[in-house]
Amino acid sequence: MPLYLFAFDDRRVLYFSNEKEYNTNLFVSITKIIKEENMPSEKVNVVLTTPLEEANLHKIRSVSGRAQVDLVSSLILAERKGDLSNQGKLDALFGHAEVVYGWIHHFPKNLLARCPRLQWIQTMSAGVDRLPQDIMKSPVRITNASGLHGTPMAEVVLEMMLMFVKDAPSCFHMKQKKEWKRYIPKVLKGQTVGILGLGVIGKEIARLCKAFGMRVLGIHRSFQPGQTIPYVDAVYSREQLPQLLAECDFVALAMPLTQETKGMVGEKELRSMKATAYLINVARGAIVDEEALIRAFEEKWIAGAGLDVFITEPLTADSRFYDLPNVIFSPHISGEMPDYELRATEVFCENLKRYIQGEPFLHEVDKGKGY
């Protein structure tokens, strides 16, 4: 039986025959070894716009010796405060940047103009609706942190639903007033939830709702007749939205904000809901017509809403949402979790490795769809 030997350098020797392959130092792919040997040696300039823990910064710098990593968050903050003493240094770093990583709100407004060599942006968020249009229309590739938010955001949806059926706000007010008034709470089991958006977040909401014995309906952008999705009893098309709304005790919004979904829930849709139904929004504030929503509360078109997102954030002190008793809200924290920075950085590190090796990205944004 012939035995072949390939010696790439003094560290790596690969033997293989017609039947078996032997790798003396755990390199498992001939293709990977050849790719590494032929890989160009030019530096990849990476700019980080968001403050990161030292451990996460180390993870990024450990991805490859080709990565030249510069953390510029302090320079951006100083510039925003009017301190231009280091503007030349910041301009030089952006001028050579090929890759940018961070939260979108930490990017300078003129990011594209300042980064003439920019090839790829990795956002720490899943949504990219806040990226400037010049970037969305440019050849720059965009990846996001999609997939990280399913668990925390689905849990917030269930939290708000449980607060409504158990009337948790009344218990809080009783404690404040030192009152004791017994009542009969409702249960989620047997109720119907409609989920608008069946991506990672929507599917996790469906799974949790099923665990509570709920009937689950959903709307999927790429709906196909006869389509089935785990934990979803029925999938509707966008055109069937009024029919879905009329059947639901809870409606949960879990889709990205795009030109197609902006203002998707307005007066017509709110009037299609049951008077006893609740709206839960952990997606984006602009998906809902807020003026119509406030009227819906005041005129009792619906029973209430759980809102984690708003068109204007933070809410202004005179916002009417503060005074509505049938609104439960949180300050846009549904996607947060203690190790979020680590998880997002792990996605970036994997994509940085893929970028350097010329491999397909994880979670690349389709600019045409907006997500």
**pLDDT one-digit tens code per residue, 153-175:** 999 999 999 999 999 999 999 99
**For residue range 50-93, what is the model confidence (pLDDT) as tens digits?**
999 999 999 999 999 999 999 999 999 999 999 999 999 999 99
Q: Is 341 left (phi over 0), alpha (psi -120 to 50) or beta?
A: alpha
Q: What is the mean pLDDT of the chain?
A: 90
Token digits for 256?
């990205």
User: For residue 55, what pLDDT is reported?
Assistant: 97
User: For residue 353, what pLDDT is reported?
Assistant: 98
- Where does residue 273 rank: exposed (0-12), middle (13-18), buried (19+ CB within 10 A)? buried
Rounded distance between C-alpha atoms, residue 167 and residue 116, angstroms: 55
How much of the chain, in percent, has pLDDT values that exceed 90?
Answer: 86
Higher local confidence (pLDDT), 222 or 259 = 259
Catalytic residue among 66, 332, 343, 354: 332
Helices (H), 266-360: 267-272, 290-298, 340-357
User: For residue 236, what pLDDT is reported?
Assistant: 93
User: For residue 202, what pLDDT is reported?
Assistant: 97
Catalytic residue among 269, 284, 290, 363: 284
Is the pLDDT at 191 greater than 60? The verdict is: yes
Q: Is 159 left (phi over 0), alpha (psi -120 to 50) or beta?
A: alpha
User: For residue 3, what pLDDT is reported?
Assistant: 44
**For residue range 344-367, what is the model confidence (pLDDT) as tens digits?**
999 999 999 999 999 999 999 999
Is the pLDDT at 116 greater than 80? The verdict is: yes
**For residue range 289-346, what is the model confidence (pLDDT) as tens digits?**
999 999 999 999 999 999 999 999 999 999 999 999 999 999 999 999 999 999 999 9
Burial code of 151-185, b = ≥16 C-beta within 10 A, e = fewer? ebbbbbbbbbbebbbeeeeeeeeeeeeeeeeeeee
Q: Is 96 annotated as catalytic?
A: no
Average pLDDT over every residue of 182-190: 98
Q: Is 313 annotated as catalytic?
A: yes
Catalytic residue among 179, 313, 336, 359: 313
**For residue range 19-31, what is the model confidence (pLDDT) as tens digits?**
444 443 444 344 4
- Where does residue 295 rank: exposed (0-12), middle (13-18), buried (19+ CB within 10 A)? middle
User: For residue 15, what pLDDT is reported?
Assistant: 41
> Can you list the pairs that 14-22 forms with residues at least 24 positions away whose Cβ atoms lie under 8 Å?
none
User: For residue 41, what pLDDT is reported?
Assistant: 65
Is the pLDDT at 12 greater than 50? The verdict is: no
Contact 130, 109 (CB under 8 A): no
Q: Residues with Cβ < 8 Å from 236, sequence gap 6 or more? A: 217, 218, 219, 223, 243, 244
Contact 124, 143 (CB under 8 A): no
User: For residue 40, what pLDDT is reported?
Assistant: 54
User: For residue 188, what pLDDT is reported?
Assistant: 98
User: For residue 24, what pLDDT is reported?
Assistant: 38
Entry pTM: 0.83
Average pLDDT over every residue of 123-152: 96
pLDDT category of residue 99 using cuts at 50, 70 and 90: very high
Is the pLDDT at 286 greater than 90? The verdict is: yes
